[in-house]
Structure 1
Amino acid sequence: MKVKLLGSLLLLILPVYLFAAAAAFTGKVTDAKTNEPIIGATVTISQLKISTSTNANGEFTFDRLPARGRYVVEVRYLGYQTLVKTVDLSTPASFNFALTSSTIEAREVVVTGTLIASTSKNSSTSAAVVNKEELQGSYTNLIDALAKQVPGVSQISTGPGISKPVIRGLGYNRVVTLSDGVKQQGQQWGDEHGIEIDQYQADKVEVLRGAASLQYGSDAIGGVINLVEPLAPAPGLIKGEVLSNYSTNNGLSGTSLMLTGNENGFVWRGRGSYQNAYSFKTPNGYFPNSGYNNTNVSGMLGLNKSWGYSHLNFSYYKNNIGFFDPESVEELYTTEHSRTLDFPRQDIRHYKIAFNNNFVIGEGSLKVDLGYQKNQRRELEDSADPSLFFDLNTYSLDTKYTLPSKNGWEPVIGVSGSWGHSLNKAEEKLIPEYDAYAAGVFGFVKKTYGDNTVSAGVRYDYIKNNGKQLFEEGEEKFTGFKNTFNSISGALGYTHVFNDNVNFKANAGSAFRAPNPAELGSNGVHEGTFRYEVGNGNLSPERSYQADATLEFGTGILTGSLGVYENYVHNFIYASNTNNETIEVPTEDLGKYPVYRYGQVNANLYGAEASLTIHPVSYLHFENTFGYTHAQNTTLDRPLPFIPAGTMHNTLRFEPKVKGLNAFYLSLGIDNYFKQNRVDATFETTTASYTLLNAGIGATFKLGAQKLKLYVSGYNLTDKRYYDALSRLKPGRLDQTNTALGVYNPGRNITFGFFLPFDIR
């Protein structure tokens, strides 16, 4: 059957390869005021995964493009406002792109993670884009960088080594991380399970806030983080980058090298990255055995032709993370900070193969993404022999066909499916072995008329989870479960562009999330969380009803946005410890553990996100962001647990012109975190407000034709003692004696780094 299906797919695709017509796309980039050519401007067509640069005359050429179709072209150059246009290749022409000189940040960015790639202005999805250089600074990992820059994004952290994304108060399996066009499938259900990705790999990161279940299915009820890899360069060119950084707080040293090339449409990319850190330092001392190291090797081989593209991506990621030993609870801090990891620790390995294709069929296109992932998570208590060993294999298929647009209508249909098979390969068990099946089909249409855009979509999902029964020493460890869920989701969107400076967008819809196997069948001690977890095989799917609206604006001296949202979630799932329930586990370190049982309530989450940047003069920028989420457990009439505190980030950035330096800047920032006393007091503790002082300096130097960026960035310069509301190390009960862990977040951290992009012809 598999051979027949593969053969049918090849028969469908083969005519596309053989008979696709080719076209050239040429143009020129100039200064809108002087009409002088701009040399070195970057011209990108994200839908075809290609980019090029303008020559000494400001001209560019793309060869062997599809002869028909509409594509979004993005033109960027430092010191100019980004220009985005939709180009119809069926009408041959040489295009002139006139860029306007500007010192303000561009609001006009292309978002590719939505069903139809478009500018953020014309997409109803609330989206933020963070580019490569903005990801560099005093950040411990990729999620940490997003949480400190994007309103509405926060993180569940277990020290600097582990961060889990939270969008508008929703995390865990409610946020999809997308890499190489494939949903990351690890063990997202775990409190101390991070995201198995190379933090250096992304050329930019798109954050989609709000339910994106229409395209990505069950787990995207909270939002999507889409990592976009560097695009292939122009034919005959090899591009690369070297970057490295060192942080003083935990000795984090990281280095990454990437090369990518294009030889007449044969494209390739290779990257190697390594990070190593010792224990992180709080204002009270070092937290024992909190160091980590990770290695990532990834690559891509593919073809970019007139029929579209086919790219084969592969990666191997290995991460070792030390954990605190609860037996030494009286010694929370130490002066030692060796890079050698002691036990207990995690050994995580993630293998992934993704086959990404986009076939141009007339004026439409067929996008096919195939994925295979193997996630191996070993929990090592006192030796290299794992006490817990999860082995998850996931196969996935995502397809969407974009029909030819007509009279402003842009329809899309799609099908997706996945199969996950998880095994336990160690003596201890926390969750049962299981098989998880998912299938979905959707339709979407977008209509543009004048300054208005409306969109609507519907999706049907079918999900089946089979957990296996297990007996140990004559007693039932796991009862097993067989659950089938199906649901219909829908979404409506609207955007209106008032003028070049103001636009409005709004969304409303319903989404759902099926319970995961851990929520359904857990029964055991969860290493690293100091608790005993018990699943519930009778859980129902979560059902979300959400709406949001955003006003975006930008003038000569002001740019910003203001957004509000509300999300009512029926049958919200979370684990809680009630009535101080504990259980004796003589074989474990603590002996007695609090019992956390999975249950369901109805919840209402609403909040606001805002950003405002003031440019009083060309060399001065005052950047401000704000985010707040209010969440209520409406069933029990008390706050919903594990909700981030409100935040306000303020940064003053000074960019004077200095002879001999390019893009020189000085920055001073203040991060304000509000107190979080809206907690479920039966098992969660409050956190006080705090303010952190940050600063940075950097410049770009010319090394021949290449540009070298050097920077120094400081975070928490006053070495402030504080607990973050979502830190898993903040004060809380370990056992019935109410022993408080109470480990402060990291203290002062200064990061030194460089970034060197280069071209080789």
Structure 2
Amino acid sequence: MRSRLLFSFLIAVIFPYYLFANAAGSVSGTITDAKTGVNLPGTVITISQLRLSTVADANGQFSFSSLPSKGRYVVEARYSGYKTQVKTIDLATGGALNFALEASIVEIKEVVITGTPITSSNKSNSTSASSVSREELLAPSTNLIDALARQVPGMGQITTGGAISKPVIRGLSYNRVVTLTNGVKQQGQQWGDEHGIEIDQNQADRVEVLRGAASLLYGSDAIGGVINVLDPLVPSPGKIKGELLSSYATNNGLTNTSLMLSGNSNGFVWRGRGSYQNAGDFKTPAGYYINSGFNNTSLSGMLGLNKEWGYSHLNFSYFKNNIGFNDAEPGDELYTDKAAGRKLDYPRQDIRHYKLALNNNFIIGNNTLKLDLGYQKNQRRELESPNPALFFDLNTFSADAKYYLGEANGWQPIIGLSASNESSANKGYEFLIPEYDQTSVGTFAYIKKSWDKNTFNAGLRYDYINNDGKQLFVNGTEQFAGFKNRFSNVSGAAGYTHSFSDGLTFKANAGSAFRAPNPAELGSNGAHEGTVRYEIGNPNLKPERSYQADATLDFDADIFSGSFGVYENYINNYIYASAKAGEQITEIDADGNPQNFDVYRYGQVNANLYGLEGSLNLHPAEFIHFDNTFSYTHAQNKTFDRPLALIPAGVIHNTLRFEPKVNGLKNLYISLGVDNFFSQNRIDPTFETPAGSYTLLNAGVGATFNMGKQAVKLAISGNNLTDRRYYDALNRLRPGRLALTDPSFGVYNPGRNVTFSLYLPLNIN
């Protein structure tokens, strides 16, 4: 109730700002080749802090109008075949902002990071971060997390077939990774094994993955990292831009279609997108997995104002996901000789997510107030018939305010306040976790100092979380005892960067973070059909406390670039669910038949995770690119002196890419990729089985050509071309993961898959 009152109060407070405006500022300049002085028309210039973008005209000139009259902003210029350049402009002093770009055979990489407390180039940002571009996100995948896991060092995924992926960053997952869209933390089924992220994979213009603790900015649950999903920036005034994309994958017949349009009329900005995906049963090298199809529908939009006082954008989205589940028992035949089609049978899931986010950026003299208000409704239905057996309904209100004080002598201070209220209800006749209310409040202070080629940052945060689980009796028997928990914590972090030269940068971070137990860990008591296990929570769990340190060396030369990083993370009171062989509970299903479930109980241990990650990209010639990424996490259960459970295997990704010049074709490429996954024998022997090593062969070809004035991009990509039989270490359907009683119960990862894709960028005056 208090969070809802705060939400209403903030809405009432911010609207008066619309009645006032600062004097308008502007930025203009020219983009040229640093060596020849030739103008570079078509260069994309962005000011991410103000959510603006424009394109240089035929003379290489650009301009932004109706900007704030004061403030320092990061401006980025990107042009194919040239190094991306970032400059900072002080609007109070004005003046032309000209870019002289250097030709480079290294492909463009996003270099501005917005998900950290202060937007800056990656070189001056101590956080270990990766930015995945729109083009990279268009690579074949079944969901957003699947696309990221193929691109980002140190990131993996927990999968259930092709439809469900949970992010894993440096060995940490579930409630330890925050997913952020439109400045608001995604609140849904983060704690569940068999639920994905309720976000349209087509909507992101780019995604930032922040590795390591980000709790200072985002509070509890960001102990492992943050996935910051960024929508497209608004176009120049008078412009309408958009895209149409469509693809088809052979393995499960996945069709994916999405249409987006965005416009700007004198500062009134808008965007709309509609997407639909549909897939049948996926095929393993041993046959099809029955009732594994899925479909999802996504509608999203934005209405807002971009003016001299800042911006205010109202974002709204609806995401519906239907997923089939195989109702097999250990020992049953899991495969069939042919696909059953696209019709989903029971049991299946029906997930719906509704979201409103009001994003505001107000310029107040030399200072800035960022205010993000959110409301989300997440509904999870598990159906064994048309009537849902389990119906979990979660409503979340959130508010996040950051006040940026004007920079003085290189010092950039921020103070922040965040609050949220979650309220859940059980509307079915089966129950897994109790109804609960959760209120959280956090405040932080952060400062960044820049001098010469150095930056230093530090911050402190205080959090308070109140959990109130509701008691429940079913047929006279207590199902949930109810619980009341209060958690508070002070955490801190510090970071440092030093640029030895334009091509060599060192970063280091150290700090402490925490994560409060979630209601599922505190109060679960029920059969979980999707995981084939009976979960029992522990109301006496303590918060996790993490002590982290990492260091990264980034390098960039004429023919090679990359990074190398190491990290250490010691976690007190690490929470996870484990099982003991032979402990089972028998439940009666909807048909009156008994069903046995392995019992998983939530407990705590001390854990130590350390590892390395990095990339090495070689460019011996303009048309040859050899890109390599690697990551490895070593995790130990220190309490019982055995490996920690559910840790990804080490992996090396190698991609050789040729980009020959052919008349009539743009951005032609031919790629060959090899993914090498090491065996994972470091397992918790009480409920895990080892996963063997394997190698996957991938390939692709694509190009852009013009049909009149319309650019069209066509691509064909193949994954697992040798149709290799393998079990990924984090595949939930592999032997031993779903049933301790019969470790032969397992499903291979998907086999050969060829994807055909079409992409049409739309530009309308």
TM-score range, shorter chain: over 0.9
Tell me, in whole angstroms, the C-alpha distance in 1 between the residues paired with 2:364 and 2:211.
Answer: 32
1:705 aligns with: 709
Tell me, in whole angstroms, the C-alpha distance in 1 between the residues paired with 2:340 and 2:41.
Answer: 49
1:153 is aligned to 2:165:
no
Shift of 1:18: 1.1
Tell me, in whole angstroms, the C-alpha distance in 1 between the residues paired with 2:516 and 2:352.
Answer: 26
SS of the counterpart of 2:682?
A: coil
Q: Is the 8 A contact 1:326 1:590 kept in 2?
A: no
Note the 1:531-542 alignment, pairs <5 A: 531-542=533-544
2:369 aligns with: 366
Tell me, in whole angstroms, the C-alpha distance in 2 between the residues paired with 1:5 and 1:623.
Answer: 47
2:414 aligns with: 412
- TM-aligned CA distance change 1:442 to 1:464, over 3 Å: same
Of 553, 556, 571, which aligns to 1:554?
556
1:341 is aligned to 2:344:
yes
SS of the counterpart of 2:97?
A: strand
Shift of 1:706: 3.3
Tell me, in whole angstroms, the C-alpha distance in 1 between the residues paired with 2:12 and 2:333.
Answer: 62
1:597 aligns with: 601
Tell me, in whole angstroms, the C-alpha distance in 2 between the residues paired with 1:470 and 1:13.
Answer: 43
Tell me, in whole angstroms, the C-alpha distance in 2 between the residues paired with 1:304 and 1:192.
Answer: 40
Tell me, in whole angstroms, the C-alpha distance in 1 between the residues paired with 2:709 and 2:72.
Answer: 34
1:122 aligns with: 124
Tell me, in whole angstroms, the C-alpha distance in 2 between the residues paired with 1:5 and 1:428.
Answer: 33
Query: After superposition, what is the alpha-carbon deviation per residue over 1:265-300, rounded to whole angstroms, capped at 9, x for unaligned?
Result: 000000000000000000011000000000000000
1:426 aligns with: 428
Tell me, in whole angstroms, the C-alpha distance in 2 between the residues paired with 1:148 and 1:27.
Answer: 38
Of 639, 646, 649, which aligns to 2:643?
639
Of 446, 455, 477, which aligns to 1:453?
455
- TM-aligned CA distance change 1:15 to 1:278, over 3 Å: closer
SS of the counterpart of 2:147?
A: helix
Tell me, in whole angstroms, the C-alpha distance in 2 between the residues paired with 1:324 and 1:674.
Answer: 29
1:518 aligns with: 520
Shift of 1:740: 2.8
1:352 is aligned to 2:355:
yes
Q: Is the 8 A contact 1:108 1:121 kept in 2?
A: no
AA partner of residue 411 (structure 1) = P
1:99 aligns with: 101
Tell me, in whole angstroms, the C-alpha distance in 1 between the residues paired with 2:6 and 2:432.
Answer: 39
Q: Is the 8 A contact 1:16 1:361 kept in 2?
A: no
Query: After superposition, what is the alpha-carbon deviation per residue over 1:569-610, rounded to whole angstroms, capped at 9, x for unaligned?
Result: 000000000243111213376621110000000000000001
Of 212, 215, 218, which aligns to 2:217?
215
Q: Is the 8 A contact 1:593 1:736 kept in 2?
A: no
- TM-aligned CA distance change 1:646 to 1:665, over 3 Å: same
SS of the counterpart of 1:697?
A: strand
Tell me, in whole angstroms, the C-alpha distance in 2 between the residues paired with 1:279 and 1:756.
Answer: 29
Tell me, in whole angstroms, the C-alpha distance in 1 between the residues paired with 2:742 and 2:110.
Answer: 52
SS of the counterpart of 1:145?
A: helix
Larger CA deviation: 92-101 vs 371-380: 92-101
SS of the counterpart of 1:214?
A: helix
1:615 aligns with: 619
1:719 aligns with: 723
2:629 aligns with: 625
Query: After superposition, what is the alpha-carbon deviation per residue over 1:449-501, rounded to whole angstroms, capped at 9, x for unaligned?
Result: 10000000000000011000111122111010000000001000000011111
1:322 is aligned to 2:294:
no
Query: After superposition, what is the alpha-carbon deviation per residue over 1:149-190, rounded to whole angstroms, capped at 9, x for unaligned?
Result: 111000000001000000000000000000111100001111
Shift of 1:738: 2.2
2:380 aligns with: 377
SS of the counterpart of 1:651?
A: strand
Aligned residue pair count: 760
- TM-aligned CA distance change 1:497 to 1:745, over 3 Å: same
Q: Is the 8 A contact 1:582 1:735 kept in 2?
A: no
Q: Is the 8 A contact 1:16 1:360 kept in 2?
A: no
1:663 aligns with: 667
AA partner of residue 74 (structure 1) = E
1:468 is aligned to 2:467:
no
Query: After superposition, what is the alpha-carbon deviation per residue over 1:242-275, rounded to whole angstroms, capped at 9, x for unaligned?
Result: 0111100010000000000000000000000000
Of 69, 72, 77, which aligns to 1:70?
72
Query: After superposition, what is the alpha-carbon deviation per residue over 1:42-97, rounded to whole angstroms, capped at 9, x for unaligned?
Result: 11000000000111111111111001100000001111111111111111211211
2:181 aligns with: 179
1:648 aligns with: 652
- TM-aligned CA distance change 1:5 to 1:612, over 3 Å: closer
AA partner of residue 458 (structure 1) = L
Could you tell me which runs of 5 or more consecutive residues in structure 1 were left unpaired when the two chains were aligned.
none
- TM-aligned CA distance change 1:422 to 1:35, over 3 Å: same
Tell me, in whole angstroms, the C-alpha distance in 1 between the residues paired with 2:614 and 2:733.
Answer: 29
TM-score (norm 2): 0.98
Of 732, 735, 740, which aligns to 2:736?
732
Q: Is the 8 A contact 2:109 2:133 kept in 1?
A: no
- TM-aligned CA distance change 1:128 to 1:737, over 3 Å: closer
2:501 aligns with: 499
Shift of 1:23: 1.1
SS of the counterpart of 1:577?
A: strand
Of 724, 742, 752, which aligns to 2:746?
742
1:754 aligns with: 758
- TM-aligned CA distance change 1:723 to 1:451, over 3 Å: same
Tell me, in whole angstroms, the C-alpha distance in 2 between the residues paired with 1:623 and 1:12.
Answer: 47
SS of the counterpart of 1:146?
A: helix
SS of the counterpart of 1:368?
A: strand
- TM-aligned CA distance change 1:537 to 1:264, over 3 Å: same
Q: Is the 8 A contact 2:132 2:208 kept in 1?
A: yes
Tell me, in whole angstroms, the C-alpha distance in 1 between the residues paired with 2:389 and 2:334.
Answer: 24
Query: After superposition, what is the alpha-carbon deviation per residue over 1:674-714, rounded to whole angstroms, capped at 9, x for unaligned?
Result: 00000001110110000000000000112333321111010
AA partner of residue 504 (structure 2) = V
- TM-aligned CA distance change 1:128 to 1:736, over 3 Å: closer
Could you tell me which runs of 5 or more consecutive residues in structure 2 were left unpaired when the two chains were aligned.
none
Tell me, in whole angstroms, the C-alpha distance in 1 between the residues paired with 2:9 and 2:440.
Answer: 23
- TM-aligned CA distance change 1:680 to 1:24, over 3 Å: same
Tell me, in whole angstroms, the C-alpha distance in 2 between the residues paired with 1:674 and 1:682.
Answer: 22
Q: Is the 8 A contact 1:185 1:394 kept in 2?
A: yes
AA partner of residue 275 (structure 1) = Q
Note the 1:290-305 alignment, pairs <5 A: 290-305=292-307
Shift of 1:7: 6.0
- TM-aligned CA distance change 1:698 to 1:736, over 3 Å: closer
Of 110, 123, 134, which aligns to 2:112?
110
Tell me, in whole angstroms, the C-alpha distance in 2 between the residues paired with 1:444 and 1:654.
Answer: 45
2:28 aligns with: 26
Tell me, in whole angstroms, the C-alpha distance in 2 between the residues paired with 1:4 and 1:286.
Answer: 51
How many percent of aligned residue pairs carry the same amino acid? 65
AA partner of residue 695 (structure 1) = A
Query: After superposition, what is the alpha-carbon deviation per residue over 1:198-250, rounded to whole angstroms, capped at 9, x for unaligned?
Result: 00000000000000000111010000001100010000000010011110001
Tell me, in whole angstroms, the C-alpha distance in 2 between the residues paired with 1:707 and 1:604.
Answer: 51
1:392 aligns with: 394
Shift of 1:19: 3.6
